[in-house]
């Protein structure tokens, strides 16, 4: 019998994808992003971002304020390039992985490293991460009403003739994270712990 | 004009520079906030053209994670 995720050390890895520069976003979007970060932690997740500014940064701040774990996946090859060339932040992350793969390569690793992606506002980079997640059949949450790409996705999906994907939509951070985690739970594969005592005589062996 | 009795042809022109300012530019103002420890909870941008003020507002918010307000005429805030 598979062990419940809630009984293991594994946490839901939820990527927050959104605009690094937020002029196009709705006025309260950054506060909503911060609340998404808090909710990810409250609901047993860790936040994964592109270690960048704007929406992902505010979500990471919310996650750390809630006492959670924040993972950043950088386009830069080193810490010095991350700070000096890309001018990206290093605070509010427990760990930053330096990919050296520029933005497009970073985006792929970012999505592949996550169980799900939450889109908030966003520009082309956010759409890039959305289409990677869609192609990879990842769970996607869209925080509607935040402007930019997030408010286009429903229309893009409808007009792109590839089905509806594993996408949930909401305008409320708490409800959106709940919906995303419900979908993750349906797909999460967890190897039973070696410490779990298994049933005898039903095809299971003692370890 | 004449200098020491010698006629000199004047080639210099007078130019008015309308855009000169002694204030810090965006980078200077951003650097001022970025250097604060701890970072402020909120920044009010109270002087400058609306477009320039908003550009600085977004740069501070996006890069430093600090709330920024550009007050309108007559706005009031409780601190």
CB contact under 8 A, B65 and A20: no
- How far is A157 from A154, CA to CA, in rounded Å? 5
Q: What is the mean pLDDT of chain A?
A: 91
- Residues of A near B (Cβ–Cβ under 8 Å) read 20-23, 30, 53-54, 57-58, 61, 87, 89, 92
Q: What is the CATH number of domain A5-187?
A: 3.40.50.450
The per-residue pLDDT for range A93-149, each reduced to its tens digit, is 999 999 999 999 999 999 999 999 999 999 999 999 999 999 999 999 999 999 999
B65 and chain A: CB distance < 8 Å anywhere? yes
Looking at this predicted complex, what is its ipTM?
A: 0.80
Note the pTM of the prediction, 2 decimals.
0.84
Rounded-to-10 torsion of CA B14, B18, B21, B27: -120
Which residues does A116 contact at the CB level (< 8 Å), separation at least 6?
A12, A13, A14, A15, A138, A139, A140, A141, A180, A181, A183, A184
Taking only the tens place, the pLDDT of each residue in A46-100 is: 999 999 999 999 999 999 999 999 999 999 999 999 999 999 999 999 999 999 9
Residue of B nearest to A23 (CA): B58
Q: What is the pLDDT of residue A112?
A: 97
Whether the CB of B62 is below 8 Å from some CB of chain A: the reply is yes
Contact A22 B61 (CB under 8 A): yes
**Domain chopping of chain A, boundaries:** 5-187
Interface test with A, best of B27, B43, B65 (most A CBs within 10 A): B65
Scanning chain A, the segments in alpha helix (DSSP H) are 29-42, 55-65, 79-80, 102-112, 124-135, 153-159, 173-187
Q: List chain A residues with CB under 8 Å of B65.
A: 57-58, 61, 89, 92
- Taken in order B36, A19, B25, B52, the sign of the CA dihedral is negative
Which chain B residues are Cβ-neighbours of A90 within 8 angstroms?
none
Copy the structure tokens of residue A182. 């419900």
Note whether B62 contacts A89, CB cutoff 8 Å: no
Task: State pLDDT tens for residues B33-53.
Answer: 999 999 999 999 998 889 999
């Amino acid at each position: 019998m598979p062990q419940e995720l809630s009984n293991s050390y594994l946490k839901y890895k939820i990527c927050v994808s959104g605009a690094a520069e937020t002029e196009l976003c709705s006025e309260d979007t950054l506060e909503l992003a911060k609340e998404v970060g808090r909710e990810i932690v409250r609901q047993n997740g860790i936040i994964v971002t592109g270690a960048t500014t704007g929406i992902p940064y505010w979500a990471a701040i919310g996650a750390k304020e809630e006492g959670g774990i924040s993972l950043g996946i950088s386009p830069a090859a080193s810490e010095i390039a991350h700070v000096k060339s890309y001018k990206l932040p290093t605070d509010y992350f427990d760990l930053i992985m330096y990919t050296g793969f520029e933005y497009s390569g970073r985006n792929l690793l970012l999505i592949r490293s996550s169980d799900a992606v939450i889109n908030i506002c966003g520009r082309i980079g956010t759409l890039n991460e959305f289409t990677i997640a869609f192609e990879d059949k990842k769970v996607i949450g869209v925080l509607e009403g935040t402007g930019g790409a997030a408010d286009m996705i429903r229309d893009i999906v409808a007009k792109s003739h590839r089905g509806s994907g594993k996408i949930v939509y909401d305008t409320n951070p708490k409800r959106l994270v709940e919906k995303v985690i419900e979908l993750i739970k349906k797909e999460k594969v967890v190897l039973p712990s070696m410490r779990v005592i298994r049933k005898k005589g039903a095809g299971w062996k003692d370890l | 004009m004449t200098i020491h009795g010698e006629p000199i042809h004047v080639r210099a022109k007078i130019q008015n520079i309308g855009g000169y300012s002694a204030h810090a530019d965006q980078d200077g103002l951003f650097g001022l906030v970025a250097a604060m420890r701890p970072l402020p909870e909120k920044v009010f941008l109270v002087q400058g053209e609306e477009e320039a003020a908003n550009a600085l507002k977004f740069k501070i918010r996006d890069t430093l994670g600090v709330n920024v307000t550009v007050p309108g005429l007559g706005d009031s805030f409780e601190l």
